[in-house]
Structure 1
C-alpha cells in the first residue's frame, strides 16, 4: 500500500469511524491485517527486552527475534491480563469485557464462551476473514464440533485448527504418548480439531509450537494468495511454555519465511518438516553444559522455540509483502507458572526470574501475576523502538481492532482503542483496569519477593486502577475490607501501602471500593463477598428534569460504543419515549441520571423494537443487542443506593421510524412501572 493510499485510508477511517464495511468498500481498498499471538504462562520477565538482557541473575533466557520485534515496534510495558489464569483471561480477550462482566470467571475451564460479540464476529463485520489456530478451552459441554455449544466456528471464526479442551493443552505432542508424564492424563495423546473434523491421527511427532506456527504460515499464505483484497484476523494461541515441559524433536530448521523455517507439508505422518526424530529430545545449545537442571534446560528451550517461531512468522509477512499492512501483537494470558508435569520433579520461575522485577506469579494479583509481556509491530505505522507505560488491558483489543477495521466496537465492550498509543496519532483514552479472581492458594515464599507477599493467602482477590494508583485486595471477606494502594511508577514491587498515609489516600481507598461496585455485575457462578452491596450513588448538583440525547448517523451492525464518535444531532427530552427524536438510520443515546428513592434491589426491564444497551455507572446492566429479537423483554436485578445514578442507554434506529423503547423499573417484578419524567435528570 502506498503512502498516499495509506493516508487516504486513515483520513476516511477518522472521518467515518461508524461506517459499516459495505459502505466503506469503495473508499478503503485495504485495511490492515491483524495477528494476535497469545503465549501461555509466559512471564513478563521471560523476554530479553523486558528483563533478561539486563538481569543480574545467574541464569538468563534469550529471545533475539522477539527483541528485534520490540526494536521495530512498541513495548506496552504496563499491559494487564483480566485474571491471572488462562480461561478467564482468554474469555475476556475474546469478548472485549473485563472480569466484572465476563461469563467465564475464576477457574471455569472449558465453560462456554458467552454467546455474544467476539473479536471474530466484530472483525467479520469489518470485512475480515477470521481464524483461530492453537489452544481454545472455552467450548462448553460436548464431545465434538457439532455438540460443543461454543465451538470456535460458532463464535465467529471462519476457521479453527487446534486444541479444543483445556486439558489437551497441557501436553505438546498431540499424537504421541509421553511416558515421562506425571499422570495418565499427561501421558496420553490428545485431540486436534480442524473445523468439523478431528485430525490428530496424522500428527505424529508434531510439536505444537511448531505445528501451530506452520499452520499459521500456511493459512496466511493461502489467504493472501486466494483473496489478497480481503483483510484477515488471525488469533494464534500457543499452548507453551505452559504446563508440561516438553521440548521439540530437533533444532529449528534453517532460514525462515516462505522458503525456510517451519513448513507445513500436509502429509499425514510428516505434517510439518520438524515431525521427525525423537519427541521431547532437543535442547537449545545455548542452554546445555552450564550445570542447569533438566527442567531449566527444558523451559529455556521452550521459550526460545516461541522466539524462533515469532521471527519466522514476521519474515513470512515480509516475504508476502504484507508486513507494512499487518499489525502483529504478542502477549501472554497470565504470569509465569511453577509446574513441569514431569514425574518426580517440578519447576520454579525463580530459575530465570520469569516475573522480572515484580512480585507474584500465575494465580496472584500482584504485578508479576497480571502484568503480561506485550509488544506490537506494524512497520511504517508504529514508530520503531517505542515504549508505552500507560496501563491497558485485554478488553482494549476489541475496540482497537474494530478501530483499525473502520467500525465502532460494540457498546458492550469495557475497552478503549489503543490505536493512538500504538501509532502516536490521535487522542488516547484512559483504559479501565479491573481484575477479580478467586483461588484457594498462597503467593509462593520466594526469597526475592517482598516479605509482605510471601505466603500471602489469595482467596477472593481484586485489582482496580484509579487516579493513577493501583488498588489491590486479597483474601476479601466483605466489601468493607480496605484496598492497599500502590504507586507503581515508584514502587513496582508493591511494598509501600499508601492507603492510610494521608486524607487524600483515605478518600481514594473509599472511592476504589465504590468504583468496584459501579463497574461490575454479579455472576451467580462466581460469587463475591460484595455482590449484595448496594451500588453507591453519586453527588449531583444543578440537575434538571429530563435526559440529554445524541444521534449518531450510520449503518451499524450492532449497538455501537460511541466513545470518540461525533453526533450529528443533540438535544434534550423528558424521557426515552419522547416523540420528537430524530428518525434517521443510526443510534440514539440518552444520558443523564436516574434518581433512586430508597436503597433497595430493583428490577430493570427493557424491551425495544430494535436493539439497545443500558449502562448504569460503568456497569453493563441490560444487553438487548447480540442475538436480540425485537419485542423481547430482558430483565435484571440490581441493588442501588438512594440517590443519583448515571445512565447511558443506546438504541439502534432503522431510519424508518423513531425506535420504540419500553424501559421499566421497580422494586418488584410484578409491579414494574415505566421510567417516568420524575426520576430522570440531566445537567
Structure 2
C-alpha cells in the first residue's frame, strides 16, 4: 500500500513538473521578441499586384495579406536602384551616409568582382538581432559586395543561400564576369544558376528555416531575385506562360505564390501572432519597351527619383498586432524597418553613428493620431539630392546638370518644381509659382541634409566610408 502511495506521489509530482514546464515554455514564448520576415522583391512596380490596382496579374495571396494586414501607400525605398536601396534597408541610413550610393566605377550598382562593398564596420539589422539571440538568414539576392569580407555571413547572418548580385550580371562581350553563382554561405554550389528555379528554391529554403527555428526568435531576410533586371524574367514551369502579362507577369504570380506559402507555414506552426512580415520592393518597375511592369498610378519608372521610381508597394502583416484591412498614408521608408525592428527586439540602436530611419511602430499598430516621424524624405540619385518631400509636398530642386542616365525630363530640373502629391500623383501640375513660401521651406530642408551628407562630389561630414578589398576574386565553383 505504501508503494502504491509512493507511485501515486511520483506520478502526481511528474505531472505537476510537466505542467510547470509547459507553463514556463508558454511564459518564455510570451516574453520572447517577435520573429521578423522581410520579403524584398526586385524591380517590382507599385501597380504590379492586385491590391495596388493591377488588372493583369493574379495575386490572391498578397491581396489576402493586405486584407489581413496593413497596406502602405506612401512608403519609399531610399533609392531608385538596387544596391543603394538594399544598403539603406539593412543599415537604416541614406545610401550616401554609408557610401553605397554608387559603385567603385561610378555606376549605380555594384558589379561582380568589385573591390567595394558594405563596410564591415556598419551594423546591420541582422547584427543587431544577433545580440538578442535571433537566428538570422538571408535567402536570395545580396548585392552589397561579393568579396569575402562583404558577404552576408560577415554581416550578421548565420547563413546565406542565393546569388551575390543581380540576375543580369552574367558573362558577355565586354563583361568578363564569372557565371552567375548560387552560393550557400561562402561557397559557390552551382554555376550558372538556373534562375527559373530561383523563386521556388528560395521558398522551400525559407520554409525550412522557419520550421527549424520555430522555437526561437528568428529573422528571415528574403530578397527575391524576381522580377529582376533581365528583359525576360524567370519563373518555374508551374507558372511559365500562365499569366496575362508574359514573363514579367509569370514571375509576379510566382512571387505571390511564394508569399502565400510562407504565410501558410506560419499559420500551420501557429506562429502568425508572433511574426511580423513585411512584403515590399527595392524600387519601382524599370522602363521597358514593350511595357512589362507597372508603377501606376504614380509617374515615372524605376531608376529615377520620380514617384514611380522610389515609392514602393508595402504590406505589413502581424495578426493580433497590426489591424487587418487597414491602410497607412503617412510618409515612411524602408530605412524605418531598422529602428522599428530593433525596438521590437529590445535591441538598443548604435549610439556612435547617425541612423536616418525612424521607429514607425505606432503606424504599424494603427495607433490613433499616429503621424509620420519624418520632417522630410530625401530623393537621392547617386550622390545628388534631386528632390525633397515634406508632408504632401514634393519639390524637385533646380540643378545645373542631372545625374542618372535614365532620368526623364532633364530640362525640367532647370527650375524648382513643386507638386502636391495628395492631389497630383502624376506630378503634372507644378504649383511652385503659387507657393513661394513652401518652396523656400523645402529648399531649407534640402540645405539641412546637404550640410550633413554633402552633394554631388562634395561629401559632407555625415558620410562614412564603404568597405574596400585590395585583391578581389571571382566567386566560382570550387575545383
TM-score bracket for the superposition, by shorter chain length = 0.7 to 0.9
Question: Matched residue pairs, number?
Answer: 414
Q: Return the match for 2:270 from 302, 306, 321.
A: 321
Match of 2:373 among 410, 430, 435: 430
Structure 1 segment 221-232 matched on structure 2, within 5 A: 221-224=211-214, 228=215, 230-232=216-218
Question: What residue number does 1:674 align with?
Answer: none
- Which of these residues, 440, 448, 452, is aligned with residue 507 of structure 1? 440
The whole-number CA distance in structure 1 between the counterparts of 2:101 and 2:463 is 18
Q: TM-score with structure 2 length normalisation? A: 0.79
Distance, in Å, in 2 between the alignment partners of 1:497 and 1:395 is: 29
3-state SS of 2:259 partner: helix
Change (3 A) 1:248 1:322: same
C-alpha change, 1:100 and 1:191, in structure 2 (3 Å) is closer
Alignment of 1:586-601 (within 5 A): none
Deviation at 1:62, TM superposition (A): 1.9
Are residues 102 and 497 of structure 1, via their aligned partners in 2, closer, same or farther at CA, if it must alter by over 3 Å?
farther
* Residue of structure 1 in register with 2:198 after alignment: 208
8 Å CA contact 1:47–1:63 kept in 2: the answer is yes
Candidates 373, 377, 382, aligned match of 2:322: 382
Displacement of 1:187 in angstroms is: 12
Q: Which has the higher contact order (CA 8 A, sep 6+)?
A: 2
Question: Does residue 231 of structure 2 align to residue 251 of structure 1?
Answer: no
Q: Whose strand fraction is larger, Structure 1's or Structure 2's?
A: 1
Structure 1 position 123, deviation (Å): 1.2
Aligned equivalent of 1:31: 33
Distance 1:622 1:328, change over 3 A: closer
CA contact (8 A) 1:84 1:335 kept: yes
Partner SS state of residue 240, structure 1: strand
How far 1:461 sits from its partner (Å)? Answer: 5.1
Give CA-to-partner distance per residue, 1:351-401, whole Å, 9 cap, x none.
x6x011111111111111111011110011111101000111121010010
Q: Determine if the alignment matches structure 1 residue 391 to structure 2 residue 331.
A: yes
In 1, the alpha carbon distance for the partners of 2:291 and 2:123 equals: 38
Equivalent residue runs for 1:94-493 within 5 Å: 94-106=90-102, 107-110=108-111, 111-114=116-119, 115-139=121-145, 142=147, 148-164=148-164, 166-167=165-166, 169-170=167-168, 189-200=179-190, 207-224=197-214, 228=215, 230-244=216-230, 245-251=232-238, 282-284=240-242, 286-287=243-244, 296-338=245-287, 347-349=290-292, 354-411=294-351, 412-425=354-367, 428=371, 430-431=373-374, 432-438=376-382, 460=384, 462-473=386-397, 476-477=400-401, 483-493=416-426
Higher mean displacement: 62-71 or 465-474: 465-474
SS at match of 1:334: coil
Would the aligned equivalents of 2:139 and 2:206 in 1 still touch at CA under 8 Å? yes
Q: Would you tell me which structure has more helix in proportion to its own residues?
A: 2
Q: 2-side partners of 1:42 and 1:387: how far apart?
A: 20
* Aligned-residue offset at 1:246: 3.9
The aligned counterpart of 2:47 is: 45
* 1:120/1:187 CA distance change after superposition, 3 Å: closer
When structure 1 is superposed on structure 2, of 200-209 and 130-139 the one drifting more is: 200-209
Over 3 Å counting, the alpha-carbon distance change for 1:503 and 1:462 in structure 2 is closer
Aligned 1:606-645 pairs, distance under 5 A: 620=462
In structure 1, runs of 5+ residues without a counterpart are 1-24, 54-59, 143-147, 175-180, 253-281, 288-295, 340-345, 440-459, 536-618, 624-683
State the match for 2:79 in structure 1. Answer: 83
Report the CA distance between 1:421 and its aligned residue: 0.5
> Secondary structure at the residue paired with 1:210?
helix
Please give the secondary structure, in 2, of the residue aligned with 1:305. Answer: helix
Aligned partner of 2:453 in structure 1 is 521
Structure 2: gaps spanning 5 or more residues:
1-26, 103-107, 403-412, 466-479
Question: What SS is found at the alignment partner of 1:170?
Answer: coil
Deviations 1:615-672 (A, max 9, x none): xxxx74799xxxxxxxxxxxxxxxxxxxxxxxxxxxxxxxxxxxxxxxxxxxxxxxxx
What is the rounded CA distance, in whole Å, between the counterparts of 2:84 and 2:174 in structure 1?
26
Equivalent-residue separation in structure 2 for 1:417 and 1:505 (angstroms): 27
Contact persistence 1:417–1:429 (CA under 8 A):
no
Q: C-alpha offsets along residues 448-474 of structure 1, whole Å, 9 cap, x if unaligned?
A: xxxxxxxxxxxx552222354112237
| Cα distance in 2, alignment partners of residues 205 and 239 from structure 1 | 8
CA distance in 1, matches of 2:462, 2:197: 42
Distance in 1, matches of 2:326 and 2:196, equals: 36
User: Aligned partners of 1:33, 1:309: CA distance in 2, in Å?
Assistant: 18
Task: Provide the rounded CA distance (Å) in 2 between the counterparts of 1:621 and 1:190.
Answer: 32
Q: Offset at 1:302?
A: 0.9
Change (3 A) 1:516 1:42: same
Equivalent-residue separation in structure 1 for 2:142 and 2:51 (angstroms): 28
Deviation at 1:32, TM superposition (A): 0.8
Checking the alignment, whether the CA contact within 8 Å between 1:96 and 1:397 is kept in structure 2 is yes
